Amino acid sequence: MQAGNEAGGSDGSTARQRLARRLIAVQEEQRLRLSRELHDDLGQMLASLALELHNVRADSAELDDRLARAAKLVDQLSGRVHDAAWNLRPADLDRLGLRASVEDLTAVLCDQLGIACDVDLEALSSPLPTETRLTLYRIAQEALTNIGKHAAPNRVSVTAHIHDNRIRLTIEDDGRGFDGEGEPGPGHLGLAGMKERLALVGGQLKLETAKGKGTTVYADVPLAG
């Protein structure tokens, strides 16, 4: 009976893993669909509206100031739509690959914070299963977003290296850090969620942090699926 219970427990764990992986796959499919709809439908409509406003401005000098403000709002809204679509599922992830996508994430953060970033992501050019590629991208996205919101760093380092047929993505900042004994503050991706997502692709998460001494996130995954 004991052996049967152990087997049943193993089967249950496997079933839960399959379900979790399927839920993540469905979520990514929905993100991709919404991203395309935002970019294709709303993006085209906003472009058409901007053109119409430009034409009206050319013919109506009295309304020039109001139309200029309206055109500025359209430009801002277009930028918001682009950012929302990109955050849901960046086109570069499918078109250019994981390396370019994480480099873009890092460049955007550095530009927003006005800081220097050290980047060495050649290892991310290695072929990876789609599920692993998406997982590493989401880890990088969340880690960099958290840095931008909470860390107030002077420098950020994003690197990837291959060792023993595993790839390690390391994201490090010299910012505020937090109490490593507990969970990060509000807005941070929960450590448990990051660990669970990595575990589904055979990966592991390690975090080093201390108040006033920055934070380092390590994400290790096998090269083979």
Tokens 């550095």 map to which residue? Answer: 110
- Helix, strand or coil for residue 174? coil
Instruction: Kindly state whether residues 168 and 203 are assigned to the same domain.
Output: yes
Say which CATH number the domain at 197 has: 3.30.565.10
Q: Are residues 172 and 207 in the same domain?
A: yes
Domain final residue, candidates 62, 88, 114:
88
The pLDDT, as a whole number, for residue 1 is 45
Residue 112 shares a structural domain with residue 189: yes
| Domain range for 170 | 97-222
pTM of the full structure: 0.65
Based on the fold, state whether residues 135 and 81 are members of the same structural domain: no
For residue 156, is pLDDT > 90?
yes
Tokens 């403000």 sit at which residue?
A: 69
Task: Give the end-to-end CA distance of the chain in Å, rounded to a whole number.
Answer: 34
Written as one string, the DSSP assignment of 8-30 is HHHHHHHHHHHHHHHHHHHHHHH
Q: Which of 30, 54, 88 is a domain's end point?
A: 88
Q: Which of 49-58, 117-126, 147-156 has the lowest mean pLDDT?
A: 49-58
**Given this model, what pLDDT does residue 83 score?**
66
Final residue belonging to a domain, choices 70, 88, 106: 88
Residues 156 and 206 both lie in one domain: yes
Listed residue (203, 210, 192) closest to 137, CA to CA? 203
Inform me whether the pLDDT recorded for 15 exceeds 90. no
Same domain, 130 and 195: yes
> One-letter amino acid identity for 31?
R
Same domain (yes/no): 122, 73: no
Do residue 22 and residue 52 come from a single domain?
yes
Average pLDDT, the chain: 79
Same domain, yes or no, for 127 and 216? yes
- 114 with 72, same domain? no
Same domain, 192 and 129: yes
What pLDDT was estimated at residue 173?
A: 96
Whether the pLDDT of residue 56 is over 90: the answer is: no
Torsion, CA 178, CA 182, CA 187, CA 190, rounded to 10 = 130
Quote the number of domains for the chain. 2
Q: What is the pLDDT of residues 58-115, one digit of tens each?
A: 656 556 676 777 777 777 777 777 666 666 666 667 788 999 999 999 999 999 999 9
Give how far Cα 63 sits from Cα of 8, 53, 58, 67, 74, Å.
Answer: 74, 10, 10, 6, 16
Could you tell me if 143 and 204 are in contact, meaning their C-beta atoms sit under 8 angstroms apart? no
138 with 217, same domain? yes
pLDDT of residue 186 exceeding 70, the answer is no
Question: Closest Cα to residue 25, out of 219, 201, 205?
Answer: 201
Banded model confidence at residue 196, pLDDT cuts 50, 70, 90? confident
Instruction: Identify the pLDDT of residue 126.
Output: 84
The amino acid occupying position 17 is Q
Q: Which residue has the higher pLDDT, 17 or 147?
A: 147
Q: Token pair for residue 146?
A: 């958290």
